[in-house]
Amino acid sequence: MSVRVQYKAFDVGQLIDNLRASDPGVGAVVNFVGYVRDINQSEAVASLFLEHYPGMTERSLQKIIDDARARWPLKAVEIVHRIGQLSVTDPIVFVGVSSQHRHAAFDACAFIMDYLKTDAPFWKREDVASGSRWVDARDSDRSAAERWTIATQ
């Protein structure tokens, strides 16, 4: 299980290979890669700046992994989240999971991403034509995370 917060770009192929790590019990690997979009809230985005609170962010991401592992039988989990100044089309985040079976891998990857979007302490500033603005979590992101709470009740 791995959590990294970093400035540098990541190699998706290498991260996927890490999830298998020659484990013959891995039957499924599911991953998500998020990228900087060129438009948000109907305005062109020139770049994105991400910052975090060192230590607290990594602990928060580890808790999300621990919660996923308590729900599904996962073999491995990788979260890599970038910080700093990013350009449009740059990769921001990688979430990957491996499991014996696809359903656990799909569900765990979605769960981790949903909670990462709402609970992880990252702050995003978009640079747009009208200036800079901080980006809040969306209601749709909160609703996505809430479905996992409802699923356990």
Whether residue 140 lies inside any domain: the answer is yes
Whether residue 116 lies inside any domain: the answer is yes
82: Cα separation from own chain's centroid: 10
Confidence at 47, pLDDT banded by 50, 70, 90: very high
**Cβ distance 141 to 135 under 8 Å?**
no
What CATH number is associated with residue 80? 3.90.1170.40
Tell me: the pLDDT tens digits for 121-147?
Answer: 999 999 998 899 998 877 777 887 888
**Cβ distance 63 to 97 under 8 Å?**
no
pTM: 0.91
Domain total of the chain: 1
For residue 133, give the nearest of 142, 125, 141 by alpha carbon. 125
Give the domain range for residue 7: 2-148
Six token digits for residue 19: 């999830």
Tell me: the pLDDT tens digits for 91-110?
Answer: 999 999 999 999 999 999 99
Whether residue 19 lies inside any domain: the answer is yes
For residue 118, give the nearest of 100, 145, 99 by alpha carbon. 145
Q: Reduced to 3 states, what is the DSSP secondary structure of residue 39?
A: strand
